[in-house]
Amino acid sequence: MTMRISKVSRGCQLSEVEISQYPLSGRFLSGRFRHAMSEHEKAVLESLFYEVAEYDTDHEILRRGTSCDFSTMLVDGFAMRTIYQNDKRYIVGAQVPGDFIDLHAFALKRLDHNLVTNGPAKVAYVKHTRLREVMETEPHLARMFWFSTLLDAAIHREWILKLQQLKAERRVAHLMCELWYRLDLVEMGLPDGFQSPMTQVDLADSCGTTAIHMNRALRDLKKQGLVEFRRGRVLCEDRRALERHSQFDPTYLYGKGDLYIGRDFENDGDGS
C-alpha cells in the first residue's frame, strides 16, 4: 500500500548524511537522545519497517478499539490523537515528524483513541513481532523506545495542566509554542514560526473550546502583536514574548534544562 503524496511541508533539514542513511527514522529522538544511539542501533531501527505509505489528506491510521499488530513512525507531516464523544471530536495529542506515534499499541493492542494524519503525511509501519525481537536483542534501543512513550505521557500531563491553568487564548499560544519547539528539535521549525496543516477547528478541538471562541482567541493574540495564525502558518516576531504570555516552559519536552538526561542514556552501560 503506497499512496503518492501531493505535498509535505518541510522546514530546515537534518544533516544530509543522516537523512540519506536513515530516511525513515532519521528524526527519531533528534534533539534529545539520538546522539546516544550507536550506528548499529540506528541501522536496526531503520531496518524494522515493512511498509511505507504516503497520504495527501487526512487518513485514519488506527481506529479506537481495533486490534493491531503494528506500530507507526511519523516520517513527515502531522498526526493527531482524537476521541469522539457526544458527536464531538476532541484532539488529545499532536504528533510531529520523528514521533513513534503508537508504540504503546505494542503492549495494549487496542488503543482508546484514534490516530489520524493531519493533512499530507508519510508514515512507516513496523510489525510487533519485529519490535519483540528488538526488546530481546537490543536492550538499549528498547529503552529508547520506552522513553519515546514516556515522553508522550509527559506531553499529555502538560496538556492537562494547561487546560486547568489557562484560558483559551493562552492555551492555544502554549500549543503553538510546544509545536514550534518540537519542530525545532527535528530541525523543521522556522525562525519566525512554523507551517502546519492545522485549522482553527483543529486548534479549538485541541484546546477544549469552540471554533467561535478560538477565532476570538486568535484575533486577540494578533491584536496584542504576539502571534498570527494564517491558514496553518504560525507567524511570530517575538518568540520570548509569546512563551511568557503562554507560561511555556519546554523542560517537560526533555530537549534541555534540568530534565535533560542524554548523558544518563550514554552512560547506563546498555549501549553498544
263 in any annotated domain: no
Q: Where does the pLDDT of residue 1 fall: very low under 50, low under 70, confident under 90, or very high at 90 and above?
A: very low
Q: Are residues 100 and 24 in the same domain?
A: yes
**In the chain, which residue ranges form alpha helices assigned H by DSSP?**
16-21, 39-47, 105-108, 128-137, 139-165, 168-185, 200-207, 211-223, 239-246, 262-266
> Cβ distance 234 to 194 under 8 Å?
yes
For the chain, the average pLDDT equals 90
Check whether 269 has a pLDDT greater than 50.
no
Q: Report d(CA 271, CA 250) in Å as an integer.
A: 27
Report the pLDDT averaged over residues 222-235: 97
The number of distinct structural domains making up the chain is 2
Q: Are residues 223 and 124 in the same domain?
A: no
Give the domain-ending residue among 145, 161, 177: 161
pTM flag (> 0.85): yes
Last residue of a domain, one of 161, 178, 203: 161
CB atoms under 10 Å from CB of 42, counted, come to 18
Report the pLDDT value the prediction gives residue 168, as an integer from 0 to 100. 95
Residue 9 forms part of a structural domain: no
Residue 192 lies in a domain: yes
Q: pLDDT at position 33, please?
A: 86
Q: Are residues 79 and 138 in the same domain?
A: yes
| Mean pLDDT across 158-168 | 96
Which of 58, 188, 192 is closest to 120 using CA atoms? Answer: 58
Q: Is residue 116 part of a domain?
A: yes
Give yes or no for residue 175 having a pLDDT over 70: yes
CA distance 199 to 188: 19
Tell me the pLDDT tens digit for each residue of 130-154: 999 999 999 999 999 999 999 999 9
For position 147, which CATH number holds? Answer: 2.60.120.10
The single-letter code of the amino acid at 126 is V
Same domain, 20 and 151: yes
Domain range enclosing 173: 167-253
3-state secondary structure of 229: strand
Q: 88: which 3 cell numbers? A: 464531538
Residues 6+ positions from 5 with CB-CB distance below 8 Å: 54, 55, 56, 120, 121, 122
Which three cell numbers, joined as nine digits, stand for 75? 516520517
Q: Is residue 259 part of a domain?
A: no
